[in-house]
Amino acid sequence: MTLLSIDQRLLGLHLHSGTIDAGTAGWRFGPSVAGFERGRLVAAFNGGFRLSVGAGGFASYGRVAVPLREGLGSIVTYADGTTDIGAWHAGVPAAGRPVVSVRQNLPLLLDHGSAAPTIGCVACWGATLGGVSDPARSAVGITAGGRLIWAGGEHLTVAQLAGALAAAHVARAVELDINPEWVAGYLYGHRGGRDPLAPIPIVDGQPGVPGQFLAPWSRDFFTVVAR
């Protein structure tokens, strides 16, 4: 399993649409990393489940692809560039703070540092290939001090994923996508010349995403950029 620690004093999170989830046209951040983001790109990782499965909403810069639902685990980015994670309208968003994007996916995996009571229910945390309990899984959480932690790995039970986040002092977390084809994380080296970005896979054994999020991808994802 890989854990990626994101210091929000230095880095910000951007929610991208995919070509299918949530569609190509009209989004502030579309299905590939482009423009100013390329010069500030530090990392990228997968988003949540297909929007069609009903696991939660997707909204970005005033546009809503799927309505947000009360109580679901939500990754909320504010206009000042900081991100918080919590249950929608039961912790987030903070009063008086303008929101620029929200991605929801299922109830919170962790809350107050403790795993959800349904942690032993495999079906509660997504349909797995072949019905296995330990597919590739991923999640993102936040510590009490405001540091974001992304976790991803092959062959993980829900309990193992939650346990790793808890061990990293995560207070609240949302499970993201699961199954090998959809779990992927990259760091990016910067170099001169005609191909200035060098993607570095960070999950052992990950099949990876064609184009490493630098070319259009079908699913939503997050970029981590320097402020």
The terminus-to-terminus CA distance of the chain in angstroms comes to 27
Confidence of residue 192 (pLDDT cuts 50, 70, 90): confident
pLDDT above 80: residue 193:
no
21 CB neighbour count, 10 Å cutoff: 21
| 154-184 as b/e: b if 16+ CB within 10 A | bebbbebbbbbbbeeebbbbbbbbbbbbbbb
**What are 44-55's pLDDT values in tens digits?**
999 999 999 999
Residue 25 above 90 pLDDT? Answer: no
Boundaries of every domain in the chain: 2-226
Distance between CA atoms of residues 187 and 133, nearest Å: 28
pTM of the model: 0.97
pLDDT range class, residue 195, cuts 50, 70, 90? confident
- Averaged over 195-205, what is the pLDDT? 92
57-86 per-position pLDDT tens digit: 999 999 999 999 999 999 999 999 999 999
Contact at 8 Å (CB) between 215 and 199?
A: no
Q: What would the two tokens of residue 128 be?
A: 């797995």
pLDDT digits (tens, 9 = 90+) for 123-153: 999 999 999 999 999 999 999 999 999 999 9
